[in-house]
């Protein structure tokens, strides 16, 4: 199986399956001398893990990361960083009924067609459990970004049909984490929670949108042709399970505007070049311009629902199907740290590329 690595200079490779012994990863290209705050890395994992609230999957995983290499006396050595997260709460019997059935909107059928074999226990590599490894790698990337005072902050701006309706909401890590659904607007958060609780009772699911802001990113990150910064951010988001859309800057709204409305005029403020507006979302020509980078990520409803559906089995027969096991009615709140992590991996990779060119970052 190809396609398990991400990044060029700061690269990350993940391994493992949902119901295997462990999942894990290898980070290569990490600079030496970076202080690794193990408590911080674990706290990031805790934001993603199941069972953290009444509206998430009850699967009880400690998600404790164990570092195997690349760290000595609390600092990176410059060698590959290997780590594992053991799977402790697998209930593989919950998936026995899926051995010969293709679940609607899952990767079961496509895996069978591509590889001729699939792990029916939770989906194997296609399971969102693999994203825990990305959060570990992303946490280390965030520790590197702190050196540059770059902050990545994501939050839930929509669940189902409920959107944040308060543009004056103070968005901070504190306001995001105070909400069970990680929406910083209190009123919208309460409506979102009520919707998810209702769907849980009905055995149904919904999707949503995660918005992300990147502050203090220096100008000059990104390659101007095939590795544009927004293109790499787009790929990073679209390879997250259940993601169906990516929009950066003013996005699709730009199509209905005139150039005279959309263009970001430059101004010189005390010797610093800034833009009067930021419809570009902090990226122009594929390269960061020093303004705030912002984007949105759309997630589809969780495919596993507790309602009877129609599908086919491996013999091609039409069959009725109803899911069993432990699942989220909405994955969006738990995906916030994943979005931040993938953005951090992209930024660190481009920062290190700039260092190769001796750019002043």
Opening angle at CA 107, ends 104 and 108, nearest 5 = 75
Q: Does a structural domain hold residue 361?
A: no
List Cβ neighbours of 83 (8 Å cut-off, separation of 6 or more). Answer: 24, 25, 65, 66, 67, 68, 133, 136
Q: What is the share, in percent, of the chain residues with pLDDT greater than 70? A: 93
Domain assignment present for 74? yes
Domain containing residue 130: 5-356
Query: Is 56 part of a structural domain of the chain?
Result: yes
Summarised one tens digit per residue, pLDDT across range 261-276 is 999 999 999 999 999 9
Tell me, what CATH number does 258's domain have?
3.60.150.10
Report pLDDT digits (tens) over 276-297. 999 999 999 999 999 999 999 9
Q: Is 51 exposed, middle or buried (0-12, 13-18, 19+ CB in 10 A)?
A: middle
329 closest CA partner among 130, 120, 225, 181: 181
327 vs 18, which has greater pLDDT?
A: 18
Alpha helices in the chain (DSSP H): 38-48, 108-115, 131-147, 173-177, 186-202, 229-238, 259-262, 332-356
DSSP string, 137-166: HHHHHHHHHHHTT-EEEEEEEEETTEE---
Per-residue pLDDT at 322: 82
Residue 134 within any structural domain of the chain: yes
Task: Tell me phi and psi for residue 11, to 5 degrees.
Answer: -110, 150
Using the predicted structure, report yes or no on whether residue 58 has a pLDDT greater than 50: yes
- The pLDDT tens digits for 301-346 are 998 888 889 999 988 999 988 877 667 899 999 999 999 999 999 9
- Which pLDDT band holds residue 147 (cuts at 50, 70, 90)? very high
**Domains identified in the chain, total number:** 1
CB 205 within 8 A of CB 305: yes
Residue 317 DSSP symbol: -
Task: Find, among 345, 241, 238, the residue nearest to 11 by Cα.
Answer: 345
């Amino acid at each position: 199986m190809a396609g398990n690595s991400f990044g060029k200079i700061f690269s990350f490779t993940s391994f493992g399956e949902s119901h295997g012994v462990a999942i894990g990863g290898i980070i290569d290209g990490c600079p030496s001398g970076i202080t690794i705050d193990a408590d911080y890395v674990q706290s990031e994992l805790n934001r993603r893990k199941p069972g953290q609230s009444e509206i998430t999957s009850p699967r009880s995983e400690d998600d404790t990361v164990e570092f195997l290499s690349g760290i000595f006396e609390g600092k990176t050595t410059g060698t590959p960083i290997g780590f594992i997260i053991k799977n402790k709460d697998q209930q593989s019997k919950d998936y026995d009924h899926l051995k010969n059935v293709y679940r609607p909107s899952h990767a079961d059928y496509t895996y069978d067609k591509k590889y001729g074999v699939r792990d029916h226990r939770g989906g194997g590599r296609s399971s969102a459990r693999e994203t825990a490894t990305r959060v570990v790698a992303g946490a280390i990337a965030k520790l590197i970004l702190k050196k540059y005072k770059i902050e990545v902050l994501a939050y839930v701006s929509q669940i189902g049909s409920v959107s944040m309706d308060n543009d004056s909401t103070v968005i901070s890590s504190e306001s995001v984490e105070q909400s069970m659904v990680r929406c910083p607007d209190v009123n919208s958060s309460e409506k979102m929670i009520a919707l998810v609780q209702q769907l849980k009772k009905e055995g149904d699911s919904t999707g949503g949108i995660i918005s992300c802001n990147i502050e203090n990113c220096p100008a000059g990150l990104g390659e101007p042709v095939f590795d544009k910064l927004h293109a790499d951010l787009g790929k990073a988001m679209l390879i997250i399970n259940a993601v169906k859309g990516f929009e950066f800057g003013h996005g699709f709204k730009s199509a209905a505007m005139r150039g005279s409305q959309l263009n970001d005029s430059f101004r010189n403020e005390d010797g610093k070049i800034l833009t009067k507006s930021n419809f570009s979302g902090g990226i122009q020509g594929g390269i960061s311009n020093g303004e705030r980078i912002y984007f949105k990520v759309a997630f589809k409803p969780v495919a596993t629902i507790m309602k009877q559906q129609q599908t086919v089995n491996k013999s091609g027969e039409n069959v009725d199907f109803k899911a069993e096991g432990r699942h989220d009615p909405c994955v969006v709140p738990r995906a916030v740290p994943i979005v931040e992590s993938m953005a951090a991996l992209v930024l660190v990779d481009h920062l290190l590329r700039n260092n190769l060119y001796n750019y002043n970052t």
